[in-house]
Amino acid sequence: MKRRGCAPRSGRPLTTAHVHSGAVLVALLLMLVLEGCSGQTYTRPTGDLGEVQRGAASWYGKKFHGRPTASGEIYDMYGLSAAHRTLPLGTVVEVTHVGNSRRVTVEINDRGPFVGRRIIDLSYGAARKLRMVDEGVAQVEVRVVKTAARSLVNASTSPLRRYTVQVGSYRDVANAERLRAELARSHAQVRIQAIDGWHRVQVGLYKKRKDAESLRRRLRRQGIQGYVVGI
């Protein structure tokens, strides 16, 4: 929705005296105008405990139901999860609907949304909790209530740091074990790491991140989606 007074006013034509700084000035003014009109700028949350972000939320459902998320976990549209652009996977956030004050707690297990300036994409189940299914898009406040597990955070400075490729994350250990057994047929060092009730399936163990990235690319060519994490 456009706010009144956001459209730039027309003024006198630029003279040759303005030409040297014109390109930079116009670019800066355009950025300011667009940000002022939107009423919202996208920030890059880091996932620190208590961090708050406000903006628009959307939700996604049947089209992605049953498909792998960025974390490797299979998307359950009826569960309580969400996609975020930058928060570490595994971060738990409390989402409050600004319009009706309803709240829901979800875990970030996917990436997105990449539409406009929306800040979070909720599962259908989470959207129902907030009673925003019919709205489609709602204004929310997102607060970090639990940071991602250490294995999902890339800020460790430990000299013993290693890298692995995470290909799945499940509440049910049986599902994690099935994936581990399948991958163990063709890959070495496949293990399950249990953290905070989640069973994460990881492949490989490397001293250098670039080696783990190489494995991630090989797995992707085999149709296995994963991402590199530090442990």
pLDDT, tens digit, 9 for 90 and up, residues 92-138: 999 999 999 999 999 998 888 988 889 999 999 999 999 999 999 99
Phi-psi region of 133 (alpha: psi -120 to 50; beta: other; left: phi over 0): alpha
Mean pLDDT of 76-90: 89
Residue 50 pLDDT > 80, yes or no?
A: yes
CA distance 226 to 122: 21
* Contact assessment for residue 68 and residue 169, using Cβ atoms and an 8 Å cutoff: no
CA distance 54 to 14: 38
Mean pLDDT of 27-49: 51
**Under DSSP, is residue 93 helix (H, G, I), strand (E, B) or coil?**
strand
pLDDT, tens digit, 9 for 90 and up, residues 149-174: 643 444 333 444 678 898 988 888 88
Mean confidence (pLDDT) of the chain: 78
Residue 23 pLDDT > 70, yes or no?
A: no
Phi-psi region of 129 (alpha: psi -120 to 50; beta: other; left: phi over 0): alpha
- pTM across the whole model: 0.51
Contacts of 73 (CB under 8 A, 6+ apart): 81, 109, 168, 169, 170
